[in-house]
Amino acid sequence: MSGYRLDKGGYIDRNTPLTFSFEGKQYSGFDGDTLASALIANGVSVIGRSFKYHRPRGILGAGLDEPNAIMQIESGPHTIPNLKATGIELYDGLQANPVNAWPSLAFDALSINSLLSRFIPAAFYYKTFMWPHWHVFEPTIRKAAGLGVSPNFPDPDRYEKRFVHCDVLVIGGGPAGLLAAQAASRSGARVIIVEYDPEWGGSLLNDPKEMDGTTSDTWIQKIVDELQEAPQTTVLNRTMAFGVYDHGLIGLVERVTDHLPVSSRSGVRQRIWKVRAAHTIIASGAMERPFVFPNNDRPGIMLASAGETYARRYAAAPGKRVVVVTNNDYGHYCAQSLQKMGVEIVAIADARLQKNTLLPGQIDLNNYPVFFGMTVTDTSGRHRVRSAQLHAIDDSGKAISGRSHNIDCDTILMSGGWSPVVHLFSQAGGKLVFDAKAQAFIPTSCEQNIVCVGAATGEYSLAKNLIDAAKAGSNAASKSGFKCGSMAVPSVEGSEASTVRAMWQVDVSAIGGSEQKAWVDFQNDVTASDVKLAIRENFQSVEHVKRYTTLGMASDQGKTSNVNGIGVMESVLKKPMAQVGTTKFRPPYDPTTIGAFAGRRVGENFAPLRALAAEQGHKEAGAKFDDYGGWKRPVCYLQGAETEAEAVQREAKAIRHGVGIFEASPLGKIEVFGPDAAKFLNRMYVNIMSTLKAGQCRYGIMLDENGVVFDDGVLGCLKENHFLVGTTSGKAAAIAEQFEEWLQCEWTDLDVVTDNVTSAWSIINVNGPNARDLLQKFDCTVDLSPDVFKHMQMREGRLAGVSCRIQRVSFSGELSYEVAIPWAYGASFWQALISEGAAFGVCPFGIEALMILRIEKGYLHVGSDTDGMTVPQDIGFGRILAKKKSDFVGRRSIMRPDAVRKNRRQFIGLENISDESPFRVGAHILPPGKVAPPAHTQGWVTSSVYSPNTGKPIALALVERGTERYGEEVQIWDLGESRRAKIVRPGVFDPEGRRLHV
């Protein structure tokens, strides 16, 4: 043995050496190592510091159960925080650093916290860091939070998602999982099997067996080859099932290139699989539990299964002088296995009496001292354990004076029993019960089609588990409609009978060790005394204890700590484990990369902006674009060196004096037709829509079920029982969805069809006094003369040989035509308007100029001039409501006391009588006699601009009793400044509406 690397064995490739760095120091390993196994092989004992006390910590586990070895790998944009060293496959050039240690692992300045531990027990922050001095503590608390450091660069990696359906999903690639998948696959069912590890085999990798006369490695490879060759079966290693959700939805994350050097990666780094499985089989195995004894957190103390894993799979000896502490037979199997691989076992402490064991004959108890009825009661050492103190224990598990030993060692392997990995089963809503024989919580029933097999059931006989797994695979396929034949189950060598003694905490009070800390949760520094403190302070529910102490939280999620923590609660509460209960598990099972959830929806793909039909024409006209409701729309059109503000003012003025064009294609367009179309729209709108005749339009508003104004728009009647609903740009999809929900879920008796045609029609709005003259330049079958085609009417016809729908409606207060033509013709129509309009000085205008025009006219903009409490009465719809007797969405809500109270905020206009600068949107309206806070705010400014057509600033607002107070002077308070304003009616430009009807 060289250092801690065994001379032979393991699944590593000794012909492919690799170099890596840890905390800036260079080390070597082999292909097939994990970062954890390579560190152990190099004799690195301290790999991290604990979260709270910053105590030195070593590796505890060998898989996802590892709480201590949390790493930050790589640097710059490729850095990844909070990865477990046990799950990092070693590659050449890997850079790894510990987290939560400053300035170094060897000397961590915050390790002084350990000396101050009596002042910072569980939940100390709830009792000390409180108002009014929170501002003093907050910076330090926030700086101390978390473990690793998030990268400060955009993620350079690529991710993707896949959506699949299958008949049977098998989670876990151990012997039970493989056999279940094989049984289901042979029936012809669509099968997916996933395994977190890069290697298949699960427990057989650590504990090889002879199966049907051949090695377990050969048996594993034979099944994997068969599954990979089956066309309907998907085989995924390096893949973790991180969450189980409703209706058979399981989330998987596949690590596609994480095992490669950064410079060699190409394509996808990780892939999320969203699987809809008709049946799911969980073969996730079991996790070994540590012992809870004083100073059980020293480096060199690890789980027995982890020690055997490092030795057998990675040829890395866990130590040179090993003590094994156990309460079940596995500790003996592990010790014998390690000894055969060249690891020195100096003693075994078995908490059971020898007469209570079922050790088979092949276990030789003469190779090393075995102390029955004894356990570890304390340890010594600083950066690595140096000795273990053993004491005899009585029937209650309390250490007793008398028989004791102090044994020099550099490693202690703990085997405190096994806990089935039931996290995914619990996420699915599965019920757990405490099994006294297994001394663990095991799965029982689940409302979803999910079953557990193998060690995940609390059964540890491989022979029995293989039989159950084959049955589970066949049953799942049969329930999916596939015919299953008989399935041969391999015979397995060896006896697996075992007994386990419940051992949740070693009570050392009788030997003077009560002041020593015994760790339950290694990652969060939760000790047995913390759990007991929480109970003394009356937090007796397991969920409350979890949150009060942070037991089982963070990235560990209680994998090695939960059951022991519940056991400590049992001893204090004097309740059986079954009554104490267990916490609910939540996804993700283990930390999952955020980028994988995003997939390719990053950057411009996160929320892709929809382009207008005439986008190129807008660019040629000098448009400056921005995001408006998910559409890329012109803010304004810049000419020469003018600023954005100058361009907006120019456009707003030009429309009032000539003609302007504006693309309104994003406006929602939903066709509603059928015998009950009018009845349906009556129920959706506050207005009465059933009286609308063909060719007429009507402005209306829709409410949500709380009576709050949800959207507004113009509704046109194309012909009898056929309507065109206009919505705002941002609500088109939501309104279409809402229509379908009401028709499909509530009003199923109505004979109505809806069709969202927003993207089928492009709309170009022609505005201004010369709008009619410009449109008459085109070959149009619609008569545009004012006596025939009046305001708030619509017509269908042909424009330049193309079908069109024209509505004479206006959001600017000017003569205006909304011309809708098929989307494909939108760009050419825009260019034609530019060409034909040159003689009229046509002016393309953007959203901001339109906002000035509508504020001048006093028109409401839902979302700007309304909020989440605005009801129809607040915006002038009181008379319409009084006339409508039939029911509609939100009607009941607008009759509630709050909706009809006298002092509601109402929609009004404001005239600035202080100066010539516009009010800021959001500025508060103060009561008469108040010029500054403190004062009750009576409302706020909702829209505010400088009007080039009136030559003064104008504003709209929501003000208490606003419509009763026209002419009243109020104070406008904003950012320390008070100005005077007068409440006026909305609409300072052309209040009579003459320009609309020319």
CATH architecture of 290-416: 3-Layer(bba) Sandwich (3.50)
Per-residue pLDDT, 139: 79
The answer on pLDDT for 252 being more than 70 is yes
Per-residue pLDDT, 496: 62
Per-residue pLDDT, 24: 94
The answer on pLDDT for 113 being more than 80 is no
The answer on pLDDT for 497 being more than 60 is no
Three-class SS string for 106-150?
Answer: CCEHHHHHHCCHHHCCCCHHHHHCCCCCHHHHHHHHHHHCCCCCC
The H or E element containing residue 177 is helix 175-185
Place of tokens 């000390």: 128
Q: Tell me the pairing of strands 843-844 and 660-663.
A: parallel
Per-residue pLDDT, 495: 55
Per-residue pLDDT, 423: 96
3-state SS, residue 466 = helix
Q: Average pLDDT in the 109-115 region?
A: 76
Domain 1-151: give its CATH code.
3.10.20.440
Which residues neighbour 898 within 8 Å (Cβ) at sequence distance 6 or greater?
none
The answer on pLDDT for 701 being more than 80 is yes
The answer on pLDDT for 470 being more than 70 is yes
H-helix segments, 186-297: 203-206, 216-229
Q: Average pLDDT in the 731-760 region?
A: 97
Supply φ then ψ for residue 64, to 5 degrees.
-70, -5
The answer on pLDDT for 108 being more than 60 is yes
- For a pLDDT cut of 90, what percent of the chain falls above it? 83
Over residues 407-451, the pLDDT tens digits come to 999 999 999 999 999 999 999 999 999 999 889 999 999 999 999
Q: Where are the domains of the chain?
A: 1-151, 158-286+420-479, 290-416, 902-997
pTM: 0.83
Protein fold of 902-997: Elongation Factor Tu (Ef-tu); domain 3 (2.40.30)
Over residues 574-596, the pLDDT tens digits come to 999 999 988 889 999 999 999 99
Per-residue pLDDT, 49: 92
Over residues 457-467, the pLDDT tens digits come to 999 999 999 99
CA 383 to chain CA mean position, Å: 38
How far are the Cα atoms of 62, 376, 380 from residue 511, in angstroms, in the given order?
33, 12, 16
Lowest average pLDDT, out of 511-515, 596-600, 627-631, 887-891, goes to 511-515
Q: Please, which pLDDT band fits residue 362 given cuts at 50, 70 and 90?
A: low
Neighbouring-strand partners of residue 385: 381
Asked whether the domain spanning 290-416 has the same topology as the one spanning 1-151, the reply is: no
Per-residue pLDDT, 513: 64
Q: Please, which pLDDT band fits residue 661 given cuts at 50, 70 and 90?
A: very high
Length of the chain: 998
Report the 10 Å Cβ neighbour count for 231.
8
The pair of structure tokens assigned to 280 is 């799911």
Per-residue pLDDT, 413: 98
The answer on pLDDT for 695 being more than 80 is yes
Integer Cα distance of 51 and 144 in angstroms: 9
Q: Average pLDDT in the 181-204 region?
A: 97
Over residues 280-302, the pLDDT tens digits come to 999 999 999 999 999 999 999 99
Report helix angle 847-857 to 644-657, nearest 10.
Answer: 50
The answer on pLDDT for 671 being more than 90 is yes
The pair of structure tokens assigned to 932 is 């500054």
How far are the Cα atoms of 26, 549, 810 from residue 988, in angstroms, in the given order?
76, 63, 16
3-state SS, residue 957 = strand
Integer Cα distance of 896 and 902 in angstroms: 13
The answer on pLDDT for 2 being more than 70 is no
Q: Considering only residues 354 and 696, tell me which one the structure prediction assigns the higher pLDDT.
A: 696
Q: Considering only residues 143 and 188, tell me which one the structure prediction assigns the higher pLDDT.
A: 188
Q: Please, which pLDDT band fits residue 494 given cuts at 50, 70 and 90?
A: low
CA 31 to chain CA mean position, Å: 34
The H or E element containing residue 803 is strand 802-807
Per-residue pLDDT, 515: 60
Tell me yes or no: is domain 158-286+420-479 CATH 3.40.640.10.
no
Mean pLDDT for all residues in the chain: 94
Q: Please, which pLDDT band fits residue 53 given cuts at 50, 70 and 90?
A: confident
Are 403 and 314 in contact, with CB atoms under 8 Å apart? no
Per-residue pLDDT, 457: 96
Q: Please, which pLDDT band fits residue 998 given cuts at 50, 70 and 90?
A: very high
The answer on pLDDT for 138 being more than 80 is no
